[in-house]
Amino acid sequence: MSCLKVIAWIKKYWQILVGAVIALGSFLTYYLQSKNLKKVLQKANESHAKENEINDDARESLVQGLDKIREKSTQDIIDFQKEKSKKEKALEKEKKDFIENQKNSKDLAKDIADSIGADFVETDEK
């Protein structure tokens, strides 16, 4: 008799039974999807962490490279300034020597013309 009561109850309340089955199916579908989404999210987080690590390494390498370039450029500038200073001092000494040698020279015009490469020079000899 109890089986007949169950069948009678199912016939009378079939909408509740169908709703419960649909709700159970929806819950299982949602649960399985959320599990899969959790795996996808975990993979995405791992990939993002690896990407951040690569970016940090690249940023550090870039900073080190820029520091090396800056140091080399600074050293090149210092070396250039030293070389320029040496050349300026040598030129100044050469000018002073030339002036000293030419102070009492009778052939000053000729010597100047020779030093600058002039071909024709007139001298006023008195």
Q: What is the pLDDT of residue 115?
A: 74
For 4-59, what is each residue's pLDDT tens digit? 888 888 888 899 989 999 999 999 999 999 999 999 999 999 999 999 999 999 99
In a domain, 111, yes or no: no
| Total domains, the chain | 1
Q: What is the pLDDT of residue 118?
A: 72
Residue range 74-90: mean pLDDT, rounded: 94
If you average pLDDT over residues 79-85, what whole number do you get? 94
Calculate the CA 15 to chain-centre distance: 66
* Interacting residues of 113 by C-beta distance below 8 A, sequence separation 6+: 119, 120, 121
Residue 36 token pair: 């899969």
Distance of CA 86 to the CA centre of its chain: 37
pLDDT at 123: 59
pTM for this predicted structure: 0.46
- On whether residue 120 sits in a domain, the answer given is no
- Rounded Cα distance, 82 and 90, in Å: 12
Residue 33 lies in a domain: yes
Q: Is 70 inside any structural domain?
A: yes
Q: For residue 46, tell me if it sits in a domain.
A: yes
> 55-86: b or e for each residue (b if 16 or more CB lie within 10 Å)?
eeeeeeeeeeeeeeeeeeeeeeeeeeeeeeee
If pLDDT is split at 50, 70 and 90, which confidence band does 1 have? low
117 in a structural domain: no
Is residue 15 domain-resident?
yes
Structure tokens at 46: 């791992």
Is residue 89 situated within a structural domain?
yes
Cβ neighbors of 70 (< 8 A, separation 6 or more) are: none
Q: What is the domain extent for residue 82? A: 2-103
